[in-house]
Amino acid sequence: MGLNLPNGKLGVWLFLGTEIMFFTAFIGTYIVYRVNHPYDWPTDPEVTHIRIWAGGLNTFVLILSSYFVVVAHEAMHQHDFSKAMKFLQWTFALACLFLGIKAYEYYGKFSHDILPGHIAETNEQAIDKTLGELKDARSAWLTALVPDEGRDDAKMTALRDQGGDEATAFFALDARITNLSDKVKAELVTMEEVTTELEEMQANEQYGTHIASVHAPHPIPKGNLFASNYFIMTGFHAIHVIVGMIAFAFVIMQGSKLNADWSVYVENCGLYWHFVDLVWIFLFPLLYII
Amino acid sequence: MAHEEHSDHVNYFYVFLLLCVFTAASVVADVVHIDSKLVVIVIVLAIATAKAMCVMMFFMHLKFEGNWKYVLLAPTVILAIGLPLALLPDVGVHYYPADPQYPANVMVVEPHESGGDSAEEAHNGH
C-alpha cells in the first residue's frame, strides 16, 4: 500500500527535504559566525549597503507571487485555465521584479567593492587598497593617452616625448601617487592622512576626474566573512528563483493549450515556489534586520 | 483528493494579508528603536517563524496532508537543526577572545592577581 499522493508530488517533497538541509547549511553557518562575532560584525547599512526597504519590498514581491501561484493552482483545479495562465504570468513577472531589485542591491555591493576577498579589514589593508585603486586609475588614464605602446614605462616615455597639457597633468598625478606610495612603504602615513591626500587629488582641476572613482580607505572588520555569507545565501536563493522561472516558463509557453494535464505540474511548481518564498522569509530578518 | 476538499475552505487572500502584516511588523521592529538587540532578534525571528508556518500550512497545504508529512520532514528538520548545534561549540563559542579588543563570548577570564596574560593562564590550566 502506497502513500495517498502522486509520485511527482512525493518526489518534489523529497527534493524539498534535501533543499531544507541545503539552505540550513548556509543559514546555520551564518548564525554560527554571527554568534562568534557579536561585537564586530558589520551591521551599519552605510557600511554593508544593505537596504531594508529593498529587502522588505522583495519579501512583499515573493509573498504576492506565492499567493498568485496558489490562485493559479486553484484555477487549474476549477478548470479555469485562462485565469490560471494569467496568474502564472503575473508570478513570472513578479519573479523578474524580485531579480531586478536583487540586481540593484548587488550593484550597490559591486560599486563599493563589497565583495568576498576584496574588503580591507585593517587600516593597513585599507591604505593599500586605496593606493592600488589610485595606481589602477593612473594606468587606465595612461592607456587612454597612449594606447599603442606596451608596458607602462614605455607608455610614459612616449607620453613624455609627446608632451602637451594632458601629459603635464598626468605626470603631476604620477608624482603625487609615487610620493604617497613611498610614504606608505615607509609607514609614514596614517589612514586619515591618506584620506586627506586623496580628497585633495580628487579636487584637483587638472587630473581629479581621472581618479574620481577611487574609494577613500575604509576598513570593515569581518567584512569578507559578511560578504561571503551574504552572497552565498542570496546568490543561491536567486539561482532558485531563476530555476522556478524556468519551470513556470514551460507552463506559460502552453498558452491557450493549457489543460488539466498540467494540474499536477503547476501544483509541484507551486510547492517549489513556496519553498523559495520560505527561504527568503528567513533570509530577510537574518540579513536585513539582525 | 482529500486535502483539496479541505483546502477549498481556505481564504488564501486572508493568508496573504496576514503575511503582509507580519512583514510590516518585522520592518517596524527594526525601524522603532528598541534598546535590547536580543529583543529585536527574538521578535523578528518569531515573526519569520509565524510567516513560515502560514506558508507551509496553507499555501503548501501541509495542514491538510496526511501523516506522511511528519515522516518525510522530521529527519530533515532534525539534521537542519543539528548542523548549527554541532558547529556552535567549536566555531560559534570560543572561550578565549578571537580579537583581543573584544571580550570572549561565554567566559571572561579575569587577570590573575600576579598579573600576566589571563587567556594564556587559563589555557595552561586546561
Q: Which three cell numbers stand for residue A42?
A: 558589520
Helices (H), chain A: 7-36, 45-48, 52-77, 81-111, 123-145, 152-162, 165-185, 191-203, 223-252, 263-283
Q: How far is B113 from chain A (nearest CA, A)?
A: 28
Look at B87 and A60 and tell me if their CB atoms are within 8 Å.
no
> CA dist A29 to A55, A212, A216, A273, Å?
21, 38, 32, 24
Q: Which of A47-61, A268-282, B14-28, B85-99 has the lowest mean pLDDT?
A: B85-99
pLDDT of B99 strictly over 60? no
User: Burial level of A203, CB count in 10 A (0-12/13-18/19+)?
Assistant: exposed
CB-based contact (8 Å) between B54 and chain A?
A: no
Nearest to B20 among A35, A63, A70 (CB): A63
Short-list A52, A146, A34, CA closest to A101 = A52
Backbone angles phi and psi of A80, in degrees to 5 = -95, 80
**Average pLDDT over all residues of chain A:** 91
Nearest to B92 among A32, A64, A274 (CB): A32
ipTM exceeding the 0.85 mark: no
Number of DSSP helices (H) and strands (E) in chain B, helices first: 5, 0
pLDDT of A20 strictly over 60? yes
Q: Which of A20-34, A108-122, A127-141, B5-19 has the lowest mean pLDDT?
A: B5-19
Please name the residue of chain B whose CA is at the shortest distance from the CA of residue A289.
B30
Give the pLDDT confidence score for residue B101 in this predicted structure.
56
**Of chain B residues 11-50, which have a CB less than 8 A from chain A?**
12-13, 15-16, 19-20, 23, 26-27, 29-31, 40-41, 44-45, 47-48
d(CA A83, CA A66) in angstroms, rounded, equals: 16
Residue A94 CB contacts under 8 Å (≥ 6 apart), including other chains? A61, A62, A64, A65, A68
DSSP assignment, residue A188?
Answer: -
Residue carrying the nine cell digits 603625487: A176
Give the pLDDT confidence score for residue B94 in this predicted structure.
63
Give the pLDDT confidence score for residue A78 in this predicted structure.
92
First to last CA, chain B: 62
Short-list A77, A107, A62, CA closest to A245 = A62
Q: How far is B28 from chain A (nearest CA, A)?
A: 10
Q: What pLDDT band is residue B68 in, cutting at 50, 70 and 90?
A: confident
pLDDT of A254 strictly over 80? yes
Q: Which three cell numbers stand for residue A24?
A: 540550513
A100 SS3 class: helix
Task: Tell me the residue type at A182.
Answer: D
Residue carrying the nine cell digits 554568534: A35
Give the pLDDT confidence score for residue B100 in this predicted structure.
55
Is 0.95 topped by the overall pTM? no
Give the pLDDT confidence score for residue A153 in this predicted structure.
81
Nearest to B20 among A29, A35, A60 (CB): A60
Q: Which three cell numbers stand for residue A261?
A: 494535464
Q: What is the number of alpha carbons within 13 Å of residue B11 lying toward its C-beta?
A: 4
pLDDT of B97 strictly over 60? no
Give the pLDDT confidence score for residue B125 in this predicted structure.
39
Task: Tell me the residue type at A106.
Answer: Y
Q: What pLDDT band is residue B7 in, cutting at 50, 70 and 90?
A: low
Task: Report the 3 state secondary structure along B61-103.
Answer: CHHHCCCHHHHHHHHHHHHHHHHHHHHHHHHHCCCCCCCCCCC
Nearest to A67 among B12, B45, B52 (CB): B12
